[in-house]
Amino acid sequence: MARMKFICDTERCIECNGCVTACKNDNEVPWGVNRRRVVTVNDGIIGKEKSISVACMHCSDAPCMAVCPVDCFYRTDEGVVLHDKDICIGCGYCSFACPFGAPQFLSSGAFGVRSKMDKCTFCSGGPEANGSVAEFEKYGRNRLAEGKLPLCAEMCSTKALIGGDSEVISSIYAKRVSVREANGRYPSKDIFGWSTAYGPMDSPAPKPTPAAKIPGAKS
Amino acid sequence: MRFNLKTIGLCLVAGATLAACSEPPEIAAKAAKRPDVAPYMGADNGFMTKGWTPKDEKSWTESVDKRNQNQSEYSRFKSSVKQ
């Protein structure tokens, strides 16, 4: 079974924001919510400026799942972390727990009321029937069920952002790195966020810390 | 008579205070969590790609893998040279 992941190649990302636009348009994401965004560091410094497209990393040991008080998250067989908006209470705990800022909330109502959480679904919808109107209205497109991959990755003009089966995309990235190294450029094999979110390749998901080892936790 | 009224009063107070004990457990959220349908089952919305059979996991995996490889310009270049 495939284990779906994203990789963003910082040497290729040109900060065009095409992935952001494609995601918003295809999933009809409301104003004020960005499931994907491009982050630039060292902006304007020649030779040091790097951009990276960030969204939900669909972590193997997702902290959002761990902290959700109503247990609305679930992981599909393809390794995609999804949530049920009918259960979500919009508390925002997942937003604080996520190291990538993936969970997003609309806060346009009176008294700063927050909406239910919205995040990248790896274009695989939610618990509603595949491709149904109800699924689209809550979660956006279900491209995986249509035999496609996430639009942000598929339409990336420089192929900086690639998404799909982790083994395939990591082999694509490894090929690029080896070509770069052979050309004497960018000798780096590190991928930003990969080891943080996913752990080393072929490693099982880490076991949660026992309650006995957490100060103040009830077992 | 006075004793009876006191007993009835106590019973009413006990009934009111113990009413919460009969409330159903509030675990509706967990019960409402629905299982998702696997993507290889396909989507009945007219946007499905061709070349794979819905409900056939192997067929879906092969199709998505092929699409996945299209993200590598090295493999795309190779396939275009063959054609």
Distance CA A158, CA A11 (A): 10
Question: Residue A6: CB partners within 8 Å, gap ≥ 6?
Answer: A55, A57, A58, A122, A150, A153, A161, A162, A163, A169
Given a contact cutoff of 8 angstroms between Cβ atoms, the answer to whether A167 and A3 are in contact is yes
Confidence class for position B17, pLDDT limits 50, 70, 90: confident
Q: Which residues of A touch B30 (CB under 8 A)?
A: 70-71
| Tokens standing for residue A213 | 């080892």
pLDDT for position A110: 72
Residue A91 is inside which H or E element, if any? none
Q: Please say if the pLDDT value at position B2 is more than 90.
A: no
Q: Which residues of A touch B72 (CB under 8 A)?
A: 159, 162, 172, 175
Distance CA A1, CA A207 (A): 21
Cα–Cα separations (whole angstroms), residue A157 to A12, A160, B8, B72? 10, 8, 80, 12
Contact A164 B43 (CB under 8 A): no
pLDDT for position A53: 95
Alpha carbon of A26: minimum distance to chain B alpha carbons (Å): 13
Q: Is B1 within the bounds of a domain? A: no
- Domain count within chain B: 1
pLDDT in tens, chain A (219 residues): 678 999 998 888 999 999 999 999 999 998 889 999 999 988 888 878 889 999 999 998 899 999 999 889 999 999 999 999 989 999 999 999 999 999 999 876 677 677 899 999 999 999 999 999 999 999 999 999 999 999 999 999 999 999 999 989 988 888 887 787 777 665 555 554 455 455 555 556 657 677 777 777 766
pLDDT for position B79: 64
Q: Is B16 within the bounds of a domain? A: no
Handedness of CA B47, B50, B56, B59 (dihedral sign): negative
Q: Which domain holds residue B63?
A: 38-83
pLDDT for position A175: 84
Q: Domains of chain A: which residue ranges?
A: 4-213
Q: Is A4 on the interface with B (CB under 8 A)?
A: no
Domain topology for A4-213: Alpha-Beta Plaits (3.30.70)
Q: Is B19 within the bounds of a domain? A: no
Q: Is B47 within the bounds of a domain? A: yes
Q: Is B5 within the bounds of a domain? A: no
Q: Is B80 on the interface with A (CB under 8 A)?
A: no
Contact B29 A165 (CB under 8 A): no
Confidence class for position B83, pLDDT limits 50, 70, 90: very low
Contact A145 B43 (CB under 8 A): yes
Regarding pTM above 0.90, the answer is no
Neighbours of A59 (CB within 10 A): 24
ipTM of this model?
0.80
Q: Is B13 within the bounds of a domain? A: no
Q: Which residues of A touch B36 (CB under 8 A)?
A: 74, 76, 82, 126-127
